[in-house]
Amino acid sequence: MSGATPTQDPGSLRDLDAASEPADGSGGAPRGLSRRGLLALSGGLGLTVGALAGGTAAALSRPSVADGAGLAYPFFGEHQAGITTPAQDRLHFAAFTMRAGATRDDLIELLQDWTYAASRLTQGQDVSPHGAFDGGPYLPPDDTGEAADLGPSGLSITFGFGRTLFVTAEGTDRFGLAAQLPPDFTTLPTMVNDFIQPARSGGDLCIQACANDPQVAVHAIRNLTRIAIGRATLSWSQLGFGRTSSTSTSQQTPRNLFGQKDGTNNLKAEEPERLAEHVWISEGPSWSHGGSYLIARRIAMTIEVWDGLQLTEQDRVLGRAKGSGAPLSGGTEFTAPDFTKAGTDGAPLIDPRSHVARTNPANNGGIAMLRRGYNFVDGNDDQGRLDAGLFFIGFVKAPARFAAVHTNMARDDMFVEYLKTTSSSVFLVPPGVAADGYVGQALFAS
């Protein structure tokens, strides 16, 4: 917290121009929260603390430390953080609906406000220079304060656009964006074992907040939701823990709630050529290039049923040994599966209907994806079963590529017997933000 001593000037709104806003190293824009964003924070009272005190904004590019609370990832860059960023341990994911009657300018302003706040939060700062405790006594604090002592904790904030932002299901172009809808931006077909709940699917906008401390991720979603008041509302959200896929060769492969190493063959940050081939958008309107499609699917896992299976059957369904993660064709975790190798009975050691076989790029026209999902437990049902599973998040350069692999899996994969998908969404994550820009800026300049 700074030692800001705001002047009391009840007649004016907080000043947003460059003279009063301290330099923040971001190149100047977005320079602060919009009047609307500030009104949201102040409960719409229009009260004020006058001009900002100088020197309250710490540098946005605090050096990263090895790990833990002090770990900070840059917000600005070629791609948004939270895709190839080494997967953090905790997730708070939220989807938003634009307010009825919101305009294109409202949307732009919201994205500018979110950019400004996210650029601060990811560096361990409060949502605005007014902070949680020093904005003056007569306003609600800008920042809700519960993460004040926790540091950035590796927070990444990733913004995405739903298809409805471009054109609603009824064909309405609310924001003058229909012409910019990428042809690749399709919805997913209904698949086997889909039990999709509309109230926890889709949305005009999404925010993926990942951090190594859940309170930091929750704080980010809560404060960004608050800033959106009057422009967008939270429609659904999901917490998760224990990443289920590593996204960097520096990470060990984590285990899902079936006890399996998950994501052994995941695309990794250290494979730029494969990322260019499979993850980053390179076709369609140029504003989207360098972005990616985020597929989010809440997959409930019938863990109590799974737990009653013999180990051989668990391994057969996956196609790997549960303990080591090695494919049943032999070797160690990172040995490539050999789908042709047969056992003494002449049958393939890896069942053709196993999860490894059905999802392997070799059996899906070479399609790969970057997975970044999280385990969840949301209490239990009234028969004592945990409401547990995987909040799948995958990044692909076109939704149809995911749909092809997943349809192939859902139809024939033995694993699907133990899964029920209750939420399904596609968001376009626009490319990274320049230091003087805001999320999705090129879309609105198009």
Interacting positions 168-207 with a second copy (CB under 8 A): 199
Q: What single letter denotes the amino acid at residue 207? A: I
Q: Which is closer to a second copy, CB of 387 or CB of 436? A: 387
Instruction: Return the number of the residue (321 or 350) whose C-beta is nearest a second copy.
Output: 321
345 binds a second copy (CB under 8 A): no
Contact criterion met (CB below 8 Å) for 33 and 443 = no
Q: Is-contact 33 49, C-beta < 8 A? A: no
The least CB distance from residue 311 to a second copy, in Å, is 5
User: Total residues contacting a second copy (rule CB under 8 A)?
Assistant: 72
Which of 234, 400, 434, 435 lies at the binding interface for a second copy (CB under 8 A)? Answer: 234
Least distance from a second copy to the Cβ atom of residue 147, Å: 8
Residue 138 interacts with a second copy (CB under 8 A): yes or no: yes
The tokens describing 241, both together, are: 């823990």
Q: Facing residues of 396 across strands?
A: 293
Closest to a second copy by CB, 301 or 439: 301
CB of 331 to a second copy, least distance (A): 17
Contact 376, 390 (CB under 8 A): yes
268, 247 Cβ separation under 8 angstroms: yes
Binding flag, residue 256, a second copy (CB under 8 A): yes
Task: State which of residues 25, 70, 145, 230 lies at the interface with a second copy (CB under 8 A).
Answer: 145
Footprint (CB under 8 A) of a second copy, residues 323-342? 323-324
What lies within 8 Å, CB to CB, of 83 at 6+ separation is 158, 247, 279, 292, 370, 372, 395, 429
Contact set for a second copy, span 59-98 (CB under 8 A): 89-90, 92
Cα(277)–Cα(220) distance, rounded to whole angstroms?
32
Least Cβ distance, residue 34 to a second copy (angstroms): 18
Task: Return the amino acid letter for 135.
Answer: G
User: Is 429 near a second copy (CB under 8 A)?
Assistant: no
Tell me which stretch binds a second copy (CB under 8 A): 20-28, 249-257, 342-350, 391-399.
249-257
Could you say whether residue 224 binds a second copy (CB under 8 A)? no
Q: Name the burial class of residue 422, with classes exposed (0-12), middle (13-18) and buried (19+) by CB atoms within 10 angstroms of its CB.
A: middle
Q: How far apart are CA 294 and CA 53, in angstroms?
A: 39
- 102 forms part of the interface with a second copy (CB under 8 A): no
Among 50, 70, 77, 259, binds a second copy (CB under 8 A): 259
CA pair distance 126, 221, nearest whole angstrom: 13
Q: Which parts of 367-386 interact with a second copy (CB under 8 A)?
A: 375, 377-380, 382-386
Does 242 interact with a second copy (rule: CB under 8 A)?
Answer: yes
Q: Which residue has the tokens 């806003």?
A: 21
Cis (ω within 30 of 0) for the bond into 214?
Answer: no
Q: Which residues contact 275 (CB under 8 A, 6 or more apart)?
A: 84, 267, 269, 370
Which of positions 286-325 make contact with a second copy (CB under 8 A)? 303-304, 307-312, 314-315, 321-324
Does residue 99 interact with a second copy by CB under 8 A?
Answer: no
